[in-house]
A and B are shown apart, each in its own frame.
Chain A
């Protein structure tokens, strides 16, 4: 017989709380605010994530602020 998990150990965050958590992580480990991180991530400024695993770790959480870290539509460069 497998026991079922009945406890309540998980805090459900509001979108605002999730953003604050990611903001905290971005400032602590990458030294920039979340918006700046997102800009740099999609601009490819972090290069190969293996060279900057802190960036990868944060990027994987971007769904929490409604951003798909792998398929972001970057605005087309001005002609």
Chain B
């Protein structure tokens, strides 16, 4: 039987790890609140500010990011708690608050044809075989937040905050935080204490 404390430890470690990775690029905090009761347990919601968070680019440009993640603390047959992600939405906006990219996983969806797979939206008006690009659900594997943060820094020139740019053991601190965070999340999702 799992003690309530252990579940709360898993919950706290998961959300603090997500928050720590986001702090590499923004001082905005993460909010957590309880969600609805699912068959697997009480869901939890993580939200990165109600107003989109501003990211500064090296070239003095700016982008905005919103992050939402809903998860549940499930328990395996051995009674070990682990994190199960129910949905995520990571959206990127340009300096004029226009959508640019959206990494989505919301398998239940709504309407006649929910999209059960993780997908990417590219918000452009290009025509792709008669469909507008922004309406296509470009299939992806599950996209972890740390890979998005890495992409923002390395490809889009988002500047890590000053204390995370410092070199430690031959690499910038942000890189180690994202790598460790990735390992922690993988462990928590597989119930490895």
Contacts and interface: CB of A to CB of B under 8 A. Distances in A.
Contacts of A71: 108
Interface string A43-79: 0100011110100110111011011111100000000
Interface residues of B, number: 45
Nearest to A6: B16
Interface residues of A, number: 40
B34 A15 contact: yes
A48 B121 CA distance: 14
A44 B66 CA distance: 24
A18 B30 CA distance: 12
B4 interface: no
Interface in B49-88: 50-51, 66, 68, 70, 87
Contacts of B160: none
Interface of B: 13, 15-17, 19-20, 23, 29-36, 43, 45-47, 50-51, 66, 68, 70, 87, 89, 91, 99, 102, 104, 106, 108-111, 114, 121, 134-135, 137, 180-181, 183-184, 187
Interface of A: 2-15, 17-18, 21-22, 24-25, 28, 44, 48-51, 53, 56-57, 59-61, 63-64, 66-71
